[in-house]
Amino acid sequence: MHTPLCGHAEGAPEEYVACARSLGIPEVCFTDHAPAPDGYDPITRMTIDKFVEYKRMISDAAKAQDITVLYGIEADYYPGCEKFQTQWLKSEPFDLVIGSVHFIGNWGFDNPANMAVWKSTDTVEAWRSYFELAARMASTGLYDIVAHLDLPKKFGHLLPVNDCRREINDALDAMATTGMTIEINTSGLRRKIADTYPSRDLLEMARRHGIPVCFGSDAHKPADVGFAFDKALALAREAGYTETVTYRQRRSTTVPLP
Ligand code: ZN
Ligand code: FE
């Protein structure tokens, strides 16, 4: 779940928690976009001086007695981020850190403002580059959870699985090796693509690699919280999962699916 500090989400953290409460969700985690002091993608994230405010907002929301509110962050991986993130992520007492890939080189491929670039881009090459970055992300060992695994499909450029088997397998191998979890992210169900990230075939591959799953709504407003979790849960079971994981202070615990 995000907060208004990233500049493209709305609603107070307490409102997100209230939505979770109304759905009977026992545990949530805020994972807003991490600051990047080197100037990476400044439009969609809080500045580092706002981070103290983020911390305060989450600890205030965590005063809720009836719901567990975890302290997390979504940290974008990009080549060159390692120096800052290696220091910074461990300097904060996060419960969990989500790693994501939103850029191939200088191209923010999931940003509607950059959508036209898809017209002049080879789709197979874009997906291969994306999974190579996802593998590099996993190999850093900096993150606990993989965000929206097949995000490049956002505008309809579906994953050509057969053309990318090697890259997909390398990425999943790296995620399995470093003990990452994959989220079933329901935000794609709110968009034209009308599918979870990842889609079912990719989720089945993840299961065959022994990678655990967790659930995320990627809420950017309170009403998104828990969106389509019934579908996400059914999908996890269809893909062969019987368990999920929860995090405290960056350590995961396996629990049965609800
Ligand atoms: Zn966002
Ligand atoms: Fe993201």
According to the model, what pLDDT value does residue 172 have?
Answer: 99
Ligand closest in space to the Cα of 77: 2
184 and 214 in contact (C-beta within 8 Å)? Answer: yes
Peptide bond connecting 198 to the previous residue in cis, omega within 30 degrees of 0 = yes
The DSSP string of 105-153 is: TTB-TT-GGGGGGGGGS-HHHHHHHHHHHHHHHHHHT--SEE-STTGGG
According to the model, what pLDDT value does residue 66 have?
Answer: 97
Ligand closest in space to the Cα of 75: 2
User: How far is the centre of ligand 1, averaged over its atoms, from the C-alpha of 258 (Å)?
Assistant: 27
Residue type, 215: F
User: How far is the centre of ligand 1, averaged over its atoms, from the C-alpha of 218 (Å)?
Assistant: 8
Q: Closest Cα to residue 215, out of 255, 178, 177, 163?
A: 255
Say which residue the tokens 């191209």 belong to: 107
User: How far is the centre of ligand 2, averaged over its atoms, from the C-alpha of 7 (Å)?
Assistant: 14
User: How far is the centre of ligand 2, averaged over its atoms, from the C-alpha of 123 (Å)?
Assistant: 20
User: How far is the centre of ligand 1, averaged over its atoms, from the C-alpha of 162 (Å)?
Assistant: 30
**The two three-digit tokens of residue 160, written as one number:** 């050509």
Say which residue the tokens 């965000």 belong to: 147
Pairing between β-strand 251-256 and β-strand 243-248 as defined by DSSP bridges: antiparallel
41 and 76 in contact (C-beta within 8 Å)? Answer: yes
User: How far is the centre of ligand 1, averaged over its atoms, from the C-alpha of 135 (Å)?
Assistant: 22
User: How far is the centre of ligand 2, averaged over its atoms, from the C-alpha of 65 (Å)?
Assistant: 29
pTM of the model: 0.97
Residue type, 5: L
User: How far is the centre of ligand 1, averaged over its atoms, from the C-alpha of 81 (Å)?
Assistant: 18
What's the CA angle centered on 143, arms 152 and 25, to 5 degrees? 80
According to the model, what pLDDT value does residue 27 have?
Answer: 98
pLDDT along the chain (258 residues), means of 10: 98 98 98 97 97 98 97 98 97 98 98 97 98 98 98 98 98 98 98 97 98 98 98 98 98 97
User: How far is the centre of ligand 1, averaged over its atoms, from the C-alpha of 44 (Å)?
Assistant: 7
Pairing between β-strand 251-256 and β-strand 68-76 as defined by DSSP bridges: unpaired
According to the model, what pLDDT value does residue 150 have?
Answer: 98
User: How far is the centre of ligand 2, averaged over its atoms, from the C-alpha of 75 (Å)?
Assistant: 8
Ligand closest in space to the Cα of 76: 2
User: How far is the centre of ligand 2, averaged over its atoms, from the C-alpha of 74 (Å)?
Assistant: 7
Q: Mapping DSSP to helix (H, G, I), strand (E, B) and coil, where does residue 244 land?
A: strand
Cα distances from 180 to residues 8, 67, 84, in angstroms, run: 27, 25, 20
Rounded CA gap, 67 and 24, in Å?
9
User: How far is the centre of ligand 1, averaged over its atoms, from the C-alpha of 255 (Å)?
Assistant: 28
User: How far is the centre of ligand 1, averaged over its atoms, from the C-alpha of 146 (Å)?
Assistant: 15
HSE of 101 in the Cβ direction (CA atoms, 13 Å)?
26
Residue type, 94: F
